[in-house]
Amino acid sequence: MGRSAAFFDLDKTVIAKSSALAFGRPFYRDGLITRRDVVKSAYAQLMFRLGGTDEQTMARTRDYLATLCKGWPVEQVRQIVAETLHELINPYVYAEAAALIEEHQAAGRDVVLVSASGEEMVRPIGELLGVTDVIATRMAVADGRYSGEVEFYAAGPRKVDAVGDLAQARGYDLADSYAYSDSYSDRPLLECVGHPTAVNPDRALRKLAVENSWPVLEFRHPVPLGRRLRERPAVPVAAAALGVGVGVAIGIAWYGRHRRTRAATPTV
């Protein structure tokens, strides 16, 4: 029997927000996106969530991603992520997810983050969690800038392709491996392992999990890393058991807050 691994989706599974969306404000502040990009990104994210693994929807989202990021300096993106990671991501890591990752590592399993967000974001978040293996979207680079091409879009069935390649290279037994996700779009990922688990599932995934008798976990306690290390863990995983690419939606958080601010401002 081969080795086993645990594959974790990132957004709403390990962290309580979108990893790409979290960096929207500093990207806007540094001039990488405009207000128009914010609105278009919100629409692209909505279409991706509604379309799931539909090939046409995935292609449109991928192409929009490539256009949005074209010309961005790679080093600037990495610097923004490095400077804001502890402020924007660290406080939003689920304590339950961190504990579960540690349990898998203690059992000798490799842990792999699998996300449609860009590798420039996912890898530093993995390092924050003590995870070195990631599967994420990769953008093509030319002369230090994103060229407008997507080398690998880590969404839907593409995630399974990458998981299969890694399993073959590492000798993982997928029938003895684990996968965790919140989204129905990750159905292929969950079905490719012997131990799938729905975490904070959307409606369609919850229905699928019930139909297939998959475990469902509800993670509700995002806790900063320093506090988790002191309490180890803040919330036992057992107590919780109940049942896209760089910048695809990077402006949605800012846009939502902007709309709420305008709505709360009295008109004269």
> Active-site residues: which are they?
9, 11
CA atoms of 191 and 187, how far apart (whole Å) = 6
Which amino acid, 139?
Answer: M
- Strand 216-217 vs strand 178-181: parallel, antiparallel, or unpaired? unpaired
CA atoms of 103 and 171, how far apart (whole Å) = 21
- How many Cα atoms occupy the beta-carbon half-sphere of 86 within 13 Å? 3
User: Looking up tokens 């860009």, which residue turns up?
Assistant: 118
Largest CA-CA distance found in the chain, in angstroms, rounded: 72
Q: Which two tokens stand for residue 43?
A: 């629409």
3-class state of residue 40 by DSSP: helix
Beta-carbon contacts of 33 under 8 Å, excluding residues fewer than 6 positions away, are 24, 27, 41, 68, 247, 250, 251
For residue 172, the cross-strand partners are: 3
CA 34 to chain centre: 23
What dihedral angle (degrees, nearest 10) is formed by the CA atoms of 155, 183, 223, 76? Answer: 20
- Sign of the CA dihedral with 202 first, then 57, 133, and 90 last: negative
